Chain A
Amino acid sequence: DAKTTQPTSMDCAEGRAANLPCNHSTISGNEYVYWYRQIHSQGPQYIIHGLKNNETNEMASLIITEDRKSSTLILPHATLRDTAVYYCIVGSGNTGKLIFGQGTTLQVKP
């Protein structure tokens, strides 16, 4: 079973920030938070990951709460091409056994 809880779906207006929440209350000290997305049943695309500090890259920002029990993925300026299923995953990073939940279907609307 997935160790994370995400809303089933979300809408976002094009050009606005998309904030995708994720709860991972049972995360352990050595586990990372990973975000992937899947567009039209393509292969999952890596977005970002972090351990406890907030992270930012060219795609997104990851905000992890101080107690690490939840996090938020931020797409600063969503475009129509960001419409996808977004998966929040926790894992030790020592194996590739990522446990995917159902994810959040983000619909970016014009």
Chain B
Amino acid sequence: NAGVMQNPRHLVRRRGQEARLRCSPMKGHSHVYWYRQLPEEGLKFMVYLQKENIIDESGMPKERFSAEFPKEGPSILRIQQVVRGDSAAYFCASSPPSLAGGQFFFGPGTRLTVL
């Protein structure tokens, strides 16, 4: 009964490169959420996705960031032309289709370092 899986766990990119972060939700979960945690700060909501749909992207930066959750495969958070300020821990969470006050399970995170 694997939990939420994220890879890679650590990612190093140079300024201007692209970063791709992957999240596989728990089995049976069709809702995925991405959060970002800057150094010494709390977690900030970025985006909420269901299969093939973006439900709420109110926390996503307007430029360079995109997210998808295809019908098959993991959810992807993509950051184009990374800058040093993108260095952070990115956490993915998942939940089952029926929320009703349900639990959200977080993955171990991907730590992105931009040189």
Are A and B genuine complex partners?
A: yes
A97 touches B42 (CB 8 A): no
Separation of A81 and B27 alpha carbons in the complex (Å):
28
Separation of A46 and B103 alpha carbons in the complex (Å):
7
Tell me the dominant secondary structure on chain B's binding face: strand
Contact string, A6-19, partner B, CB cutoff 8 A, digits 1/0? 00000000000000
- Which of A36, A51, A97 contacts B33, CB < 8 Å? A97
Separation of A33 and B34 alpha carbons in the complex (Å):
20
What is the interface size of chain A, counting residues whose CB is below 8 A from a CB of the partner? 24
Greatest chain A CB density within 10 A among B55, B89, B93 is at B93
Choose the segment among A20-28, A64-72, A88-96 that binds chain B (4+ C-beta atoms closer than 8 Å): A88-96
Residues of A within 8 A of B107 (CB): 43
Separation of A97 and B45 alpha carbons in the complex (Å):
6
Separation of A79 and B93 alpha carbons in the complex (Å):
27
Query: Which residue of chain B lies nearest to A94 when distances are taken between CB atoms in the complex?
Result: B99
Cβ of A59 < 8 Å from any Cβ of B? Answer: no
Query: Which residues of A (33-72) have their CB < 8 Å from a CB of B?
Result: 34, 36, 41-46, 49, 51
B25 to chain A, nearest CB (A): 11
A102 touches B99 (CB 8 A): no
Cβ of B101 < 8 Å from any Cβ of A? Answer: yes
A93 touching B43 in the complex, CB below 8 Å, given contacts A43-B107, A44-B91 = no
Cβ of A98 < 8 Å from any Cβ of B? Answer: yes
B42 touches A101 (CB 8 A): yes
Interface residues of A (CB under 8 A from B): 2, 32, 34, 36, 41-46, 49, 51, 87, 93-103
Q: What would 12 A/B residue contacts be, using CB atoms closer than 8 Å?
A: A34-B104, A45-B106, A49-B101, A49-B103, A93-B100, A94-B100, A95-B55, A96-B48, A96-B95, A98-B104, A100-B42, A103-B42
